[in-house]
Amino acid sequence: MSVMNIINKISEGERLFIINGVDLNIRSDGRSCDDHRMVMIEQNVIETCSGSAHARSGNTDVLVGIKLELEEIVNSNDGDDDDKHQAQNGTKGRVQVFADISAIASPAFEGRKGEDITCQIEALFSEFLPDFIDLEKLIIVPNRSYFVLHIDIVILECSSLSSLIDITSIAIKTALNDVRIPKINILSIDQNEFTVSEDEFESIPLDASRVPLVTSYTKIGSKFVVDATWEEEQASVGTISVAFVPPDQIILMKKIRHGSISTDSLPLLFERATKFGLELSRKFEAKIHQCKTLKTSGRITFSIN
């Protein structure tokens, strides 16, 4: 079930108003096509998690909690497919992404109506996150046991799918920067025996510097806009999400919504996504560095523009 089937569409007059405004580089809320709304991020908001973050922009609100869970490798010829996967995964840890949308996010998401969105979120981030996290740091006893990095996403409010993906990306990377891996003292490799230090000062931070940030570009008329509102999404012909790694590497371009987008517009989108992604990454890293330097878990707001 698509978002379009869940929520009533805008009128034809509203659609034309939005398209004509975008053609003039003037959106209904006063922003230009390249303007992103202010972003607010908080770290360490859930004490029971290994890392957590809260991110909000406009009417999109996302909470991310990350937990480390011990998992043992089962070596058995009679094991199921999951056991075989674990046995093959003996030299690194694992990442698992789960998303849930609160019914208070919108009346349209009551019951099971939000599953389409959560499935898209899980599939998108599961596709590239394991390749940009140092999973070898999650090994406890080589070929015996490791940590599973559970990334739980709770969508508290959702204004549009494109905005949701962008803010979820920021929340995930903020939470990953908050994760600390406890020190492991191995007692016996053969018996898979070890102790986990409870001393916070002995733990090491998880390196999340290579984790991409995702930005979505929604095509309205002949132009792409960033950080689209719900009304703008209904007037659009499609959305492409781009995962960017500084300084100039785009590792994923994925169409996430209905409609068709001509390939003729992709080279220009590629150039624009590189420029915007670099600016977003630069400002994000500066704010995270500021948060770590000041050793504060309070709210930090920043403008991407």
Q: Indicate the helix (H) or strand (E) that contains 273.
A: helix 266-294
Mean pLDDT of the region 149-178: 94
Residue 43 and residue 243: Cα distance in Å, rounded?
Answer: 22
Instruction: Tell me: pLDDT of 162 over 60.
Output: yes
Q: What is the pLDDT of residue 60?
A: 93
Q: Is the pTM value of this prediction over 0.75?
A: yes
- Residue, of 247 and 87, whose pLDDT is higher: 247
Residue 145 and residue 86: Cα distance in Å, rounded?
Answer: 9
Q: Report the phi/psi class of residue 30: left, alpha or beta, with left for phi > 0 and alpha for psi in -120 to 50.
A: left
Residue 140 and residue 192: Cα distance in Å, rounded?
Answer: 9
Among the residues of 99-215, which ranges form H helices? 115-128, 161-176
Residue 80 and residue 73: Cα distance in Å, rounded?
Answer: 12
Lowest mean pLDDT among 24-28, 167-171, 289-293: 289-293
- DSSP codes of every residue in 77-93: TT--HHHHHHHHTTTS-
Residue 57 and residue 31: Cα distance in Å, rounded?
Answer: 14
Please name the amino acid found at residue 36: H
* CA neighbor of 57 nearest in space, from 207, 278, 216, 211: 216
- Residue, of 157 and 7, whose pLDDT is higher: 157
CATH of the domain at 256: 3.30.230.70
pLDDT band at 286 (very low <50, low <70, confident <90, very high): confident
Residue range(s) defining the domain that contains residue 174: 3-302
Q: Indicate the helix (H) or strand (E) that contains 15.
A: helix 12-23
Half-sphere exposure of 245 (CA within 13 A, CB side): 14
- Residue, of 76 and 116, whose pLDDT is higher: 116
Structural domain count, the chain: 1
Structure tokens at 222: 């002949």
Mean pLDDT of the region 118-132: 93
